[in-house]
Chain A
Amino acid sequence: MSVTISKKMCMIGDFGVGKTSMIRRFVDRQFSDQYLSTVGVKISRKSIVLENSTKQEIVTAQLLIWDLEGHTKFKGIAPTYLQGAGGVLIVADVSRSETVERISEHIKLFSSVNPKGSIIIALNKVDLIDEEKLALLVEIAHSIGQDKVVAVYTTSAKTGKDVDEIFHKLAYTMVEQV
Chain B
Amino acid sequence: MINIFRKLLVPQETEYFVINHNFIIEETSSAVQRFADTAGEALPGVDARICFPELIGVENILTSIIIGQRSSFQVKGIARFTDNNHPLYFDLLVIEHENNEEQEEEERQSKLLILIEDSTEKMVMKQSLIQRANEANLLVRALEASRDYIDKVIISMGDALLVTTTLGIIKTVNQSAQLLFGYTESEIVEQPLSMIVVEETLLYQARHHYILSQEELVRELEVVCTTKTGAEIWVEFSCAAIQTELKGLYDFVYIGRDVTERKQQEIEIRRSLAREQELRDVKSRFFSMLAHEFGNPLNTVLFSTQILKEYGDEITANEKKEYLEHIQSASKHMAQLLDDVRLLSSAEAGKLKFNPTPVDLKSFCNDLVESIKISFGKNHAVCFIYRRVMSRVRLINKSYDESKKLPAMDKKLLRHILTNLLSNGIKYSPIDSNVYFELHCYDEEAIFKIKDEGIGIPIEDQEQLFESYYRAQNVGKIPGTGLGLSIVKQCVDLHGGQIEFSSETGLGTTFIVTIPYYKSKQID
Contact = CB atoms under 8 A, between A and B. Distances in A.
B92 to A, nearest CB: 10
Given A45-B53, A83-B61, A40 B134 contact: no
Contact of B134 (A15, A41, A85, A96): A15
A6 B39 CA distance: 14
A42 B60 contact: no
Range of interface residues on B (Cβ < 8 Å): 20 to 34
Interface in B124-141: 126-127, 130-131, 133-135, 137-138, 141
Given A15-B134, A15-B137, A39 B57 contact: no
Interface in B105-157: 119, 123, 126-127, 130-131, 133-135, 137-138, 141
A86 B57 contact: yes
Contacts of A37: 127, 130-131, 134-135
Contacts, number: 84
B76 interface: yes
Nearest to A75: B130
Given A45-B39, A74-B133, A80 B74 contact: yes
- In the complex, which of the residues A37, A41, A98 has the most CB atoms of chain B within 10 Å of its own CB atom? A37
Given A41-B79, A69-B77, A84 B138 contact: no
Nearest to A67: B79
B428 interface: no
A16 interface: yes
A178 interface: no
A84 B59 CA distance: 8
A17 to B, nearest CB: 11
Contacts of B56: 6, 8, 64, 84
Interface of B: 37, 39, 49, 53-54, 56-61, 73-79, 84, 89, 119, 123, 126-127, 130-131, 133-135, 137-138, 141
25 contacts: A8-B57, A8-B58, A15-B130, A36-B84, A37-B135, A39-B77, A39-B79, A40-B78, A40-B123, A42-B79, A43-B37, A43-B53, A43-B54, A43-B78, A45-B39, A64-B56, A72-B130, A74-B133, A81-B75, A83-B61, A83-B73, A84-B57, A84-B59, A84-B61, A86-B57
